[in-house]
Amino acid sequence: MNKKIKNINLASPDISEKDIQAVVSVLKTPQLSLGPKLIEFQDKLAKYIGREYAVAVNSGTSALHLIIKNLGIGEGDEVITTPFSFIASSNCVLFENAKPIFVDINPETYCIDIKKIEKKITEKTKAILAVDVFGRPADWSELGKIAKKHKLYLIEDSAEALGSVYKGKKAGFFGEAAIFAFYPNKQITTGEGGIILTDNKNFADLCTSLANQGHDKKSSWLEHLRLGYNYRISDINCALGISQLGRMNELTKKRARVFKWYYEGLKDVPGIKIPPLFIKNSKVNWFVYVIELGPKYDKNDRKEIMRALNKNGIGCREYFPAIHLQKFYRELFGYKLGDFPVTEYISDRTIALPFHTLLTRGEVRRVCTTLKNLL
């Protein structure tokens, strides 16, 4: 009798006994929210990135929303961004009744195409919101030049890039404000959570207020100075984040090891494009491992490949579907096939393979061998 195939998960958090004890220690205190662990997590994350201030919230989406709101971006305004991202990066613009203006991506980096941005700038444009896709930093030097030239805010969505480096500076260092997210598949996790990074104290204070129902540090209990939200993150989450951040070097090395195993296993496979081992000006702490099928494959071929991988116990997923072709974006803005051809081509051919720190070399070898046979 054949043994049942062991499943290889697409993602998995790396939780140590020390992480567990950090959470338990908070559970033994009377202060589970708005306590000392929140302050500690914010301070340590800001120091790690090299920014002056950090404001932790309950998700990366909340973090981006607060940035959009606090920059005064609202109805009638436009924000230039990418259609190849997790949908939150453009949804946050819609939250404030502004309009995301999509710019197609660079086919090599998957990040926003610098050369196409200026054509989309109008008198309504207020900001550029760029994304470090899959952990690979966008070209922040050139983005900064464009933003400065046109007097635009620069927003850094580094939700997927904690630990990545661009020209000697960590992701999250650039722009008026930046964000990270800490969902369980990220480089470190708080369970659910996100954080805002900035060098502007007033901006950070306003984010703190808005995340806590508009309450201000100087106001009395239950006095709310402005309309706010419940975007708080608990000390339980922050305790896990502190412990995970303390393991950052260990977790980064583990991800790099798994990445190298994939590179060795797939570098000579014809018909696919894999992430590069080295990138000029950047050191990438990869968030996911995504391959791109070659031109001879189409969307239906990908579906069959993914079905076969799943049948062999290997987790996989398409990454990312084009935002502009999501149902409600089509209905709201009239987008159609052909509007952003590079994004559409890549969105139809990308497959995320299992990628996390707990993978063994044997499991990566099994994924690579199975994929080769299928191709």
Structural domain includes residue 139: yes
Q: How much is the average pLDDT of 152-169?
A: 98
Determine the pLDDT at residue 219. 82
Together in a domain, 204 and 297: no
Together in a domain, 218 and 82: yes
Together in a domain, 56 and 193: yes
CB 238 within 8 A of CB 38: yes
At which of 246, 272, 295 does a domain end? 246
The strand pair at 289-293 and 272-273 is best described as antiparallel
Determine the pLDDT at residue 9. 98
CB 52 within 8 A of CB 203: no
Phi, psi for 289 (deg, rounded to 5): -110, 110
Q: Which domain holds residue 357?
A: 248-374
For the entire predicted model, the pTM comes to 0.96
CB 181 within 8 A of CB 227: no
Together in a domain, 291 and 351: yes
Banded pLDDT at 3 (limits 50, 70, 90) = low
Structural domain includes residue 234: yes
DSSP 279: B
At which of 218, 246, 274 does a domain end? 246
Query: What whole-number distance in Å separates Cα of residue 259 and Cα of residue 187?
Result: 13
Query: What whole-number distance in Å separates Cα of residue 100 and Cα of residue 125?
Result: 10
Residue 1 scores a pLDDT above 50 = no
Structural domain includes residue 158: yes
Together in a domain, 241 and 253: no
Q: Which two tokens stand for residue 339?
A: 């509007």
Residue 2 scores a pLDDT above 60 = no
Structural domain includes residue 4: no
Please enumerate in sequence order all residues whose Cβ is within 8 A of that of 173, keeping only pairs 6 or more positions apart, or say none: 49, 50, 51, 166, 197
Exposed, middle or buried: residue 22 (CB in 10 Å: 0-12, 13-18, 19+)? buried
Together in a domain, 221 and 254: no
Name the amino acid, one letter, at 350. Answer: T
Query: What whole-number distance in Å separates Cα of residue 47 and Cα of residue 246?
Result: 12
H/E run at residue 369? helix 361-374
At which of 195, 215, 246 does a domain end? 246
Together in a domain, 225 and 322: no
The 10s digit of each residue's pLDDT in 17-51 is: 999 999 999 999 999 999 999 999 999 999 999 99
Q: Which of 361, 320, 327 is nearest to 343 (CA)?
A: 320
What's 63's domain CATH number? 3.40.640.10
Together in a domain, 261 and 242: no
Together in a domain, 128 and 271: no
The 10s digit of each residue's pLDDT in 74-97 is: 999 999 999 999 999 999 999 999
What's 323's domain CATH number? 3.90.1150.10
The Cα-based distances of 77 to 10, 80, 180, 220, 355 in angstroms read: 38, 10, 24, 35, 38
The 10s digit of each residue's pLDDT in 164-215 is: 999 999 999 999 999 999 999 999 999 999 999 999 999 999 999 999 999 9
Query: What whole-number distance in Å separates Cα of residue 49 and Cα of residue 162?
Result: 9
The total domain count for the chain is: 2
The 10s digit of each residue's pLDDT in 303-350 is: 999 999 999 999 999 999 999 999 999 999 999 999 999 999 999 999
The 10s digit of each residue's pLDDT in 260-299 is: 999 999 999 999 999 999 999 999 999 999 999 999 999 9
The 10s digit of each residue's pLDDT in 205-261 is: 999 999 999 998 888 888 899 999 999 999 999 999 999 999 999 999 999 999 999
Together in a domain, 332 and 224: no
Structural domain includes residue 11: no
